[in-house]
Amino acid sequence: MSIQDKIRQQLSSDKIVLYMKGTPQFPQCGFSAKAAQMLGACGAKFTSYDILSDPEMRQGLKEYSHWPTFPQLYVNGELVGGCDIMTELYQKGELQKLVTQAQG
Amino acid sequence: MMQPEDIKQMIEAGLPGARVSVTGDGHHFEAEVVAREFAGKGMLQRHQLVYRTLGTKMGNEIHALSLRTLAPDE
């Protein structure tokens, strides 16, 4: 299975997916930590993947999404964005709406 | 190490006519970009347009770049 297929499979098996550096419990980067916290604050049940432990996945995601950095949030298989887009959505209450709709 | 001036020039080269201001400490940067290419586009597409001007630098020499992207009339 190619990396791109593996990514597609991961994105189709969970509604909310966060690719991050480290884990929600042990984030390895401030931006990844903030992204996980915001999702937690919205009551999101999400699956996270640590791209530091999978360099092939890390490169594959950059090509898949044309997004060069992490964290990367996906809802219903669609890229929502990185930490600063999540922050802006969170402040406007739109991240909560996204999470509620996805988990509804 | 990357300097704000380097990033400013790359974005301006990739988005001709854009007004760009960049600050940062060498690893984490903030940039405000006003470009007519942003009109009618969502935040995600706007950020992707900026990242494309930075090529492989993004996520490597540039650890993080938080963006404010505006169309000329915003």
**74 residues of chain B, pLDDT tens digit each:** 899 999 999 999 999 999 999 999 988 899 999 999 999 999 999 999 999 999 989 888 898 899 999 999 99
Enumerate chain B positions whose Cβ falls within 8 A of a Cβ in A: 43-44, 47-48, 51-52, 54, 58-59, 64-67
B36 secondary structure, DSSP code:
G
ipTM metric: 0.81
Kindly report, residue by residue over A18-50, the tens digit of the pLDDT: 999 999 999 999 999 999 999 999 999 999 999
Question: pTM for the full model?
Answer: 0.91
Confidence of residue A51 (pLDDT cuts 50, 70, 90): very high
Nearest-Cα distance to chain B for A65, in Å, is 9
Q: How far apart are CA A39 and CA A36, in angstroms?
A: 5
Cis amide prior to A71 (ω within 30 degrees): yes
- Residues of chain A with C-beta less than 8 angstroms from the C-beta of B58: 68-69
